[in-house]
Amino acid sequence: MTKAVDSFAQVLFVSFGFVMKLAPLGAFGAMAFTVGRYGIRSIGSLGLLILTFYIACSFFVVVVLGTLARLNGFSLWKTIRYFKEELLIVLGTSSSEPALPGALRKLEQLGCRKGVSGLVLPMGYSFNLDGSAIYLTLASIFIAQACDIHLSWGQIAAMLGLMLLTSKGAAGVTGSGFVALVATLSVMPDLPVTGVALLVGIDRFMSEARALTSMISNCVAAITVSLWEDACDREVLARELGGSGSLKVAAGSKIGGGAVLQGDKAWISTTQSAA
């Protein structure tokens, strides 16, 4: 039985490797189709879409998440630097799933209680995909403009609400945002689902920004909720992030205070006895 499972796993790995080797060819074919059907100027439009998406994600991280972190007493930039290994994994894989174990471990090192961070972070992988929500909205607007479809403000607002809903529950794996876009456009009467062919060739570049934005957002959310629930030691958080927090354990500290004081008393009594 074990040999059969191992053999089947080897077949799957070989199949996945074959697909990965053909992925660049598929992306080239998608770009060739887009340029051949819509002209060379479509490349400039796609580049502008990528730039707009990166600016929108940067604005969300800097302004929204930065403000949220500042209001709760910790630094966004120090948090990003603390999770740099996990963010590099996300950047290389275009997926936030491989970074989950390391992120959970570092949240515990920051002083967050395991029961809270272990609930908030995995839930964020399905219900807090901010990068996917930004991508779905921008991609829908781009398809509407490319197909010369005029949308009223009411239609844009309804589409925004629908995109925010469909982004929930999407798996944090590579290409999940694109699949969610296809599924959403298939039920929207205003936009053609065939318009997603315009975005196939550039989805890899946008997938990286989606995953990074969602990962940073989930880490900030886990720390914030832990602070709200009084499930995070602020001194440990400040020390681990390299802040200006005092390294001394106060008398009323919840973590380790009693052990430190008892150890000091034992050391003093031993010294006096020896004297």
- Residue-wise pLDDT for 38-85, tens only, equals 667 767 788 899 999 999 999 999 999 999 999 999 999 999 999 999
Kindly report the average pLDDT of the chain as a whole number: 78
pLDDT score, position 91: 87
| CA distance from start to end of the chain | 70
Question: Dihedrals φ, ψ of 62, to 5°?
Answer: -70, -50
Amino acid in the structure at residue 138: L
264 — pLDDT class (breaks 50, 70, 90):
very low
DSSP of the chain:
-HHHHHHHHHHHHHHHHHHHHHHHHHHHHHHHHHHHHH-THHHHHHHHHHHHHHHHHHHIIIIIIHHHHHHTT--HHHHHHHTHHHHHHHHHHT-SGGGHHHHHHHHHHTTB-HHHHHHHHHHHHHH--HHHHHHHHHHHHHHHHHTT----HHHHHHHHHHHHHHTTT--SSTTHHHHHHHHHHTT-SSS-GGGGGGTTTTHHHHHHHHHHHHHHHHHHHHHHHHHHTT-B-HHHHHHHTT-S---SPPTT-SSSHHHHHHHHHHHHHHHHHH-
What span, in angstroms and rounded, lies between the C-alpha atoms of 62 and 49?
A: 20
225 by Cβ neighbours in 10 Å (0-12 / 13-18 / 19+) ranks as buried
Has residue 33 got a pLDDT over 80?
no
pLDDT score, position 110: 92
| Partner residues linked to 112 by β-bridges | 232
Please, are residues 125 and 172 in contact by the beta-carbon 8 Å criterion? yes
Least confident of 7-11, 12-16, 129-133, 153-157: 12-16
What span, in angstroms and rounded, lies between the C-alpha atoms of 125 and 172?
A: 6
Amino acid in the structure at residue 119: L
What span, in angstroms and rounded, lies between the C-alpha atoms of 204 and 152?
A: 30
Summarize the confidence of residues 229-254 as an average pLDDT.
65
Please, are residues 221 and 128 in contact by the beta-carbon 8 Å criterion? yes
190 or 262: which carries more pLDDT confidence?
190
pLDDT score, position 218: 92
Summarize the confidence of residues 83-102 as an average pLDDT.
87
Has residue 257 got a pLDDT over 80?
no
pLDDT score, position 104: 92
pLDDT score, position 161: 82
Least confident of 14-18, 74-78, 125-129, 172-176: 172-176
Summarize the confidence of residues 184-192 as an average pLDDT.
79
Has residue 168 got a pLDDT over 50?
yes
Summarize the confidence of residues 25-46 as an average pLDDT.
72
The superfamily in CATH containing domain 33-240 is Sodium:dicarboxylate symporter (1.10.3860.10)
pLDDT score, position 172: 56
Please, are residues 215 and 125 in contact by the beta-carbon 8 Å criterion? no
Ranked by mean pLDDT, the top range of 30-34, 189-193, 238-242, 249-253 is 238-242
pLDDT score, position 4: 80
